[in-house]
Chain A
Amino acid sequence: MTDIFLPTLGDLADWPELSYSLGLTDGLPVHPPLRATVDALVEGTGRAPTDVVGLIPPRDATATIEVIAANAAMAGARPEYMPVIVAALECMLSARFNLRGVQVTTHGSWPLVIVSGDAVTQLSMAHAESVFSGGGSRANATIGRAIRLVLWNVGGSIPGEPVKEVFGQPGRYSFCIGESPHSPWEPLHRARGVDAPSGVTVVAVEAPHSVAMWGANDAPHDRLEWCADVMRTKGSNNTHTMGDIVVCVNPSEARGLAANGLSRKDVQQGLFDFARRRIDDLRPTGPMRPNNEPQHHYTWWPEWIDQTRDDTLVPCVERPDDIVVVVCGADSIPWWAVCPGWGHLGGFAETRAVEIKEPK
């Protein structure tokens, strides 16, 4: 292993082994960050190469536009993807996102990049079949990959030291989805208060947990309850500490809900009402089992949760808006998915506008 990065390469055939010996990849092969490619990617941002986007934890190295572009080049991204990549990183660098914690925690969450609005079509992003595994789209795969490489190379997000993630999840290789343009509701970024044609939302979550509608009838509340049952699992960080959670609804299911008069807000409220567990179902057992005395109360729950009663139903998030509802997936049989969040410590959803430039 060497850490000397030479600015020139005599033979491109040497790059794969060089990239591994320099530790510039997490194991998957990467393209060489060629100067000409990087310059084109910088141009895609419309910003100066020396502009600083932020310090990327846990290593706290400086991510300039050029450094981000070098990682995007290694990922195989195109210049028109750069505004999404930069906006996603800006979301992650907000203080409340706690990117340092998200990366080094034992939990298996990872920043999920959700692109919504016109950019999904403009960038030919996957939003339907296999959306969580890239859907065969270069944009999904390489935007997520560029983020991963920035966090790896600039942030030093290396397993073992300092990353303590117990199991990890495959989304760490690349975790980017497009919201369906066939949604009956407004695009996600607009629902979150960003008035722009396109937006990007980032939230740290686990891989999707599938929710099939086995046995559910057509009544909207029954279908919400089916999903809520997956949201409130005993081993989920959300169930114990709240935070944010992502719920995906495929287009046919979303249309069904909309036809029954449900808006995105109604779905959030319904899930908030149903995705609850009794307090006595959540407490530890055995000799350490706490009682209902205040010293045993969870401090991450809001004051309005009555922790003195065993039968209090505790929601898995603090507010309905903490449930990020995304319309995506194949427009076929009704299906849902739940991506539990990291919990109260961070990874909270952040949204930014993005402006896509026409490719040259």
Chain B
Amino acid sequence: MTYQLVDPRGVVHATAVARATRPGKIPRNPRIGFLINEINRQAGPDFYAYSLVIEDEMRKRIPDLEVFRDCKPVLSRPADDAMLLKFRDCRGVVSGLAK
């Protein structure tokens, strides 16, 4: 005797992917910070490059976006207060590893 089963997983249609809704309001002239975690990699292909991609995507949705970037001198040390104060006017800060 065999038992008939029904696959519970459903079918994925590749074109069906949708973005999550974002109900929050976007403020005027938002300032976004990118804190790169190691100064030696600031011009490299890693987080700095990713931050440019993120900036491009954000500018498509927020034309009046302001961007501020800074880098920590050493990856393994936390940012000091003076550096953090530079970001205090930012609506959000994206912080990334150098690699």
Q: From residue B10, how far is it (CB to closest CB) to chain A in Å?
A: 4
Residue tally, chain A, CB below 8 Å to B? 50
Chain B residues within 8 Å of A33, by CB: 5-8
Chain A residues within 8 Å of B57, by CB: none
**Are A74 and B10 in contact (CB-based, < 8 A)?**
no
Chain B residues within 8 Å of A59, by CB: 12
Closest to A56 in B: B10
Q: A33-B5, A60-B17, A287-B88 are in contact. Are A299 and B26 (CB under 8 A)?
A: yes
**Are A55 and B16 in contact (CB-based, < 8 A)?**
yes
Instruction: Determine, out of A77-85, A95-103, A109-117, A201-209, the stretch whose residues face the partner at the interface.
Output: A95-103
**Are B11 and A288 in contact (CB-based, < 8 A)?**
no
**Are B10 and A63 in contact (CB-based, < 8 A)?**
yes
Chain A residues within 8 Å of B16, by CB: 55, 60, 62
B 77-89 to A, binary, CB cutoff 8 A, 1 in contact else 0: 0000100110111
Instruction: Determine, out of A5-13, A225-233, A263-271, A325-333, the stretch whose residues face the partner at the interface.
Output: A5-13
**Are A8 and B5 in contact (CB-based, < 8 A)?**
yes
Q: A7-B7, A9-B5, A288-B84 are in contact. Are A96 and B21 (CB under 8 A)?
A: yes
- A→B interface (CB under 8 Å): 5-10, 12, 24, 32-36, 38, 55-57, 59-64, 66-67, 69-71, 73-74, 95-96, 98, 100-101, 149, 153-154, 286-290, 295, 297, 299-300, 344-346
Can you name 5 A-B pairs with beta carbons within 8 Å? A33-B8, A35-B3, A62-B13, A297-B27, A299-B24
